Amino acid sequence: MKLFSAGLSLLLLLFTITTPASAATASPNASLSVSKDRHYVYLSFSGLKSVAKVNYILTYDSNNTQKGFEGGFSTKKSTTRSTRRQILGTCSSGKCVFQPNPKNFSLTVTFTLRSGATTTLTRTLP
């Protein structure tokens, strides 16, 4: 029984030592939220340490019409997080016209990793 206990303790010690190293490399992730007045959408990107480039497309419905925009940015090696605020409407000469009743948001993000691989994820919001 002591041999089993000592073996289990060693196994737990090895697991504890190796777990943080693998957890240190966070996978890229994205989230979106909408302001209470639904005039702005906020995009948040995290886990960007291994990411070279981020491209995104956001679509949504407004008055039975699909609207949307796309964007992207390159990251520096030290970048871990980035956020964007996007108006849901148009502005000209200091006056903004907001999209009426925007809903059914769909965000598709493609992360291009420094290794050259890509990973894509989708987030939705009613």
pLDDT, tens digit, 9 for 90 and up, residues 102-117: 999 999 999 999 999 9
pTM of the model: 0.77
Query: How far is the C-alpha of 45 from the C-alpha of 95, rounded, in Å?
Result: 29
Note whether residue 119 is domain-resident: yes
Domain count, the chain: 1
Residue 105 lies in a domain: yes
Please report whether residue 100 resides in a domain. Answer: yes
Per-residue pLDDT tens digits for 24-36: 568 999 999 999 9
**Per-residue pLDDT tens for 52-99?**
999 999 999 999 999 999 999 999 999 999 999 999 999 999 999 999
Rounded to the nearest angstrom, the gap between the alpha carbon of residue 24 and the centroid of all alpha carbons in its chain is 18
How many Cα atoms are found within 13 Å in the side-chain-facing hemisphere of 124?
Answer: 3
DSSP sequence for 33-71: EE-TTSSEEEEEEE-GGGEEEEEEEEEEEETTEEEEEEE
